[in-house]
Amino acid sequence: MNVQERVIRAIARACQLDPEQVHPEATFEELGVDSLKGLEIVFELEEEFKVSIPENVAVGMRSVRDVIERLRTVFEGAGGFATEPSS
């Protein structure tokens, strides 16, 4: 499973949605994500990827695509995390 699929699955869990309802171009506003739900998403992503998401990264995430791209950046900056851990 790639980063995009794992992000979509984690966001869907946090928002109690079917993963097919979460598209890469969806904004958090479109998904009905408020600040509390945003925290739940960050916690879910941290659990899914076994990482700590820095606050400066988390505050900039406004869409599913933002999450995917920022996590890829974090992984690349952490020693080239090119291969995703298996689930």
Write down the pLDDT at residue 82: 37
Reference 15, options 28, 2, 1; nearest CA is 28
pLDDT attached to residue 78: 60
Nearest to 66 by CA among 11, 14, 25, 20: 25
With respect to residue 44, please indicate whether it lies within any of the assigned structural domains. yes
Do the domain assignments include residue 85? Answer: no
End-to-end CA gap in the chain = 8
Full domain range(s) for residue 11: 3-77
Tally of domains within the chain: 1
Where in the sequence numbering do the catalytic residues fall? 34
Chain centre to alpha carbon of residue 33: 13
Amino acid of residue 43: F
In a domain, 87, yes or no: no
Assessment of whether the complete model's pTM goes beyond 0.85? no
Residues in the chain predicted with pLDDT less than 50, given as ranges, are 80-87
Task: Determine the Cα–Cα distance for residues 85 and 47; give it in Å rounded to an integer.
Answer: 12
